[in-house]
Amino acid sequence: MAARLPTRAWQRLSADDGAKGHRWYDWAWITIPGPGCRWLLIRRSRRTGELACYRCYAPHPVPLAALVKVAGLSWTTQENFQAGKGLAGLDEHQVRHWTPRYLWVTLAMLALAFLSVTAAAEHAQPPPPQMIP
């Protein structure tokens, strides 16, 4: 489908700031029939031409830039899950029933929230005078 899109269908937009600045990609979207507003959002790498697709839904029409911004948040979400696994043991449960799994995930997410708030508060404080900022 992406190969059949005309050149004018692609728009160059930033998916958000990355570690090295804005992450620029070419984006196109195709309307999918169904209730509400549904789209196939296609991201094309400017360097390699690699494609990534997102199936999107909204109850009302939204601009392409809004969908691109949400798609750019997927990296942040993945990083948060990795932090939950590494810092709070989110993936360290061996339970076979819903209730213990629910309790484990709840406690792990609570621990991750505590660590996140503590880290943010620590970074908000200026360093002691004898330390390099």
Domain ranges of the chain: 7-72, 80-123
Positions of the chain with pLDDT under 70: 18-19, 133
Could you tell me if 43 and 27 are in contact, meaning their C-beta atoms sit under 8 angstroms apart? Answer: yes
Could you tell me if 88 and 111 are in contact, meaning their C-beta atoms sit under 8 angstroms apart? Answer: yes
Q: What is the pLDDT of residue 94?
A: 82
Taking CA atoms, 11 is separated from 2, 26, 66, 126, in Å, by 13, 5, 13, 42
Q: What is the pLDDT of residue 18?
A: 66
Q: What is the pLDDT of residue 53?
A: 92
The Cα 17–Cα 66 span in angstroms is 15
Q: What is the pLDDT of residue 29?
A: 93
Does this model's pTM top 0.95? My answer is no
Q: What is the pLDDT of residue 124?
A: 86
Q: What is the pLDDT of residue 12?
A: 92
